[in-house]
């Protein structure tokens, strides 16, 4: 066998392996009927957070803010008072996904 044929054979094998890994075994929509929590589920989650610790009110508030504004857990945890404008009702969030900014 020539080295050229060996290189093509190895490349074909690597491409097939990459294709096999990229193909999902199940589709999320067949397993989960929806991708979000309902309002009733959020209220139950907040009630459980209020009961669970001495910081329950804070935790329930974070759950509500995250739900209403579509924030990731890391974005909620990174919030600082300097990002809150109570007078204008604005909240400045540094959007990030995998450590890099998610917007322009």
Grade residue 8 by pLDDT with cuts at 50, 70 and 90: low
Least confident interval from 24-28, 61-65, 93-97: 24-28
Which of helix, strand or coil describes residue 24? coil
Alpha helices by DSSP H, 1-104: 3-22, 28-31, 39-52, 56-69, 73-77
Quick: pLDDT tens for 41-62: 999 999 999 998 889 999 999 9
- pTM for the full predicted model: 0.60
**pLDDT for 74-101, tens place per residue?**
899 999 999 999 999 999 998 877 666 5
């Amino acid at each position: 066998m020539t080295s050229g044929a060996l290189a093509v054979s190895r490349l074909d094998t690597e491409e097939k392996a990459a294709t096999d890994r990229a193909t999902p075994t199940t589709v999320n929509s067949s397993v989960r009927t929806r991708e979000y929590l309902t309002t009733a589920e959020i209220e139950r989650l907040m009630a459980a957070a209020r009961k669970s610790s001495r910081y329950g009110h804070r935790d329930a508030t974070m759950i509500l803010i995250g739900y209403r504004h579509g924030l990731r857990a890391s974005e909620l945890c990174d919030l600082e008072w300097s990002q809150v404008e109570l007078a204008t009702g604005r909240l400045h969030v540094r959007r990030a996904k995998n450590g890099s900014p998610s917007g322009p």
